[in-house]
Amino acid sequence: MQSIYKYIFILSLIVLISKLNFGQSSGCPLVNNPQRLSINNQNSLLSICNDWNTYTTLNDNTNIKYVRIAYHLFNKNDGTGNIPNNPTNRQMLHDFTYFYINNKMNNLSVMNLPTSSPHIADSKIQFVLDTIYFWNDTFGWDGTIDNQVPAGSEKGDSLYTTYVVNKHGVKNKYTTLHVFISGLGGNVNGHGGGQAKWFGAKEWVLVNSIYQAYLNNTMWNASGLLRHELGHALGLYHSWSGDNCNDTPNNPNCWDNTQPGCNPNSNNTMDYNVSQDALTRCQINTVHYFLLGNQGNISDCIISGVNVTTPIVSGPTSICNPNGSNYTINNLQLGVNDNATAYPSTLFQNADICGGPVINFKPASTASSGGAILTFTTGFGVYGNTFITKRVWVGTRPSVLNVCSFTNNPQIYGATTINSPGTGCTSTSVPLNQDVTFIAETTNLNPGFEVPLGATFEVIPEIISCQ
């Protein structure tokens, strides 16, 4: 039998290796294995996970996500009643997008109303105006919608079908967020109404005040409405109506600038107010979550900015009673899902980690003892998952362990001192295609210890901590 000794281990117990396996998965198969313990989804948008801490990042590695949009301006049938189609006005619309939409998204104001989360100035969301279309259609020009379903949604769906789906020459039909700009409706100061397809949909938004703002040189006023409707399309609810973010103040009056007795009024983008220039940390994270293709796949509107990274996990190799051990993923990006699973599940309690980035594993009982594999998955929606595994010892360890054969499942062995081969045997061979781990303060690999080709062996040196 051909075998090879791993001199890297024998010569050094010198360089004893603490191994972390990096890999990539297209899904999350560990969660579906009934033998494994699903801990939680840290950044999921479940209503029970609405604590803004759930959406924080330890290091903000989030790239700017660039989202493709298109403007569709509707004139009356005679070609009048909206911003004229000429080079000057086309440039004006590009400038409007840059100065009043993008510039605000990377220079967000501090919330006027109290919020529990730290201020984030740069949302790392930018819109790229890809194409401007001009249509003559009095139905689309008439933007005097009541902003309630079904009136606004039916109009938007009709325009989307006619001028996107069925219109020859419209570019990137299904990889663009389409903005329908009516010519009639809204106020002379640029404030008005709008509609989005639905929360997190990728198709369209409808606004009715940009032409009025153009005529009265108040384009900045109309920009708040457009940011608001784009927020809906990217997954945000009105902040006063249960938006799964507990850092958005739920004030029954001060979200609306028309209500008396509020000083100051809200300036949140998803409220009704004159500014609409602030977002909370949870709201920003929610947008990034949806842009990864979660719950209303709009990832195909992203031109660039998704940085798929493998999680970096910090935490001990021992999990002790009664408090267990904490593990942290320290390179999170806004919007990602974090999931932690453990095998075998019988060693652990079912812990709920909703509300923070620290994942805690606790032994199932004071008698729990044995080796375990922890798997930490970072989910990037339609872009796939990346994961890292960590091999640990749960509970107390014997003082001395003599390993003559490998019978554990998983193949993890823990003690103060491990001898292999030990008392009672003269040789030990790591099984083929097996991954064997020794976790000990002292490991003695004696003559007769073999690691055949095709087998993997690691030593994790650690001082006893669970005696």
Please provide residue 6's backbone torsions phi and psi, each rounded to the nearest 5 degrees. -85, 85
Instruction: Name, in order, each residue with C-beta under 8 angstroms of 243's C-beta and a sequence gap of 6 or more.
Output: 236, 237, 270, 283
The predicted structure's pLDDT at residue 356: 52
| Listed ranges 34-43, 46-55, 348-357, 361-370; the one with the highest mean pLDDT | 361-370
The answer to whether residues 11 and 103 belong to one domain is: no
The answer to whether residues 417 and 402 belong to one domain is: yes
431-444 per-position pLDDT tens digit: 999 999 999 999 99
User: In which element (H, E) is residue 65 found?
Assistant: strand 65-75
The answer to whether residues 28 and 87 belong to one domain is: no
**Does residue 405 lie within any of the structural domains?**
yes
22-40 per-position pLDDT tens digit: 222 222 122 222 222 323 3
Residues in the chain: 467
Q: How confident is the model at residue 228 (pLDDT cuts 50, 70, 90)?
A: very high
Q: What is the mean pLDDT of residues 1-13?
A: 32
Strands, E assignment, 104-217: 125-136, 177-181, 194-196, 204-207
The whole domain housing 28 covers 7-47+309-461
Higher pLDDT, 300 or 301: 301
Check which CATH number belongs to the domain holding 140 and give it.
3.40.390.10
Tokens of 343: 């095998």
**Which of 102-106, 143-147, 172-176, 182-186 has the weakest average pLDDT?**
143-147
The predicted structure's pLDDT at residue 227: 95
The answer to whether residues 263 and 219 belong to one domain is: yes
Please check the confidence at residue 452 and state whether its pLDDT lies above 90. Answer: yes
**Does residue 52 lie within any of the structural domains?**
no
The predicted structure's pLDDT at residue 190: 66
The predicted structure's pLDDT at residue 303: 92
* Euclidean distance between CA atoms 264 and 260, whole angstroms: 10
Q: Tally the domains of the chain.
A: 2
The answer to whether residues 223 and 270 belong to one domain is: yes
Share of the chain above pLDDT 90, in %: 49
The predicted structure's pLDDT at residue 358: 76
Classify strands 385-394 and 21-25 as parallel, antiparallel or unpaired: antiparallel
| Listed ranges 241-255, 259-273, 348-362, 376-390; the one with the highest mean pLDDT | 376-390
Domain boundary among 262, 284, 304: 304
The answer to whether residues 383 and 454 belong to one domain is: yes
**Which of 183-192, 303-312, 430-439 has the weakest average pLDDT?**
183-192
* Euclidean distance between CA atoms 186 and 177, whole angstroms: 22
The predicted structure's pLDDT at residue 260: 65
Domain boundary among 252, 277, 304: 304
| Mean pLDDT (the chain, rounded) | 81
**Does residue 466 lie within any of the structural domains?**
no
**Which of 38-52, 197-211, 379-393, 442-456 has the weakest average pLDDT?**
38-52
The answer to whether residues 286 and 321 belong to one domain is: no
The predicted structure's pLDDT at residue 129: 97
Instruction: Name, in order, each residue with C-beta under 8 angstroms of 301's C-beta and a sequence gap of 6 or more.
Output: 67, 68, 69, 175, 176, 177, 202, 291
Domain boundary among 304, 322, 337: 304
The predicted structure's pLDDT at residue 106: 95
* Euclidean distance between CA atoms 229 and 147, whole angstroms: 11
Please check the confidence at residue 398 and state whether its pLDDT lies above 70. Answer: yes
* Euclidean distance between CA atoms 32 and 34, whole angstroms: 6
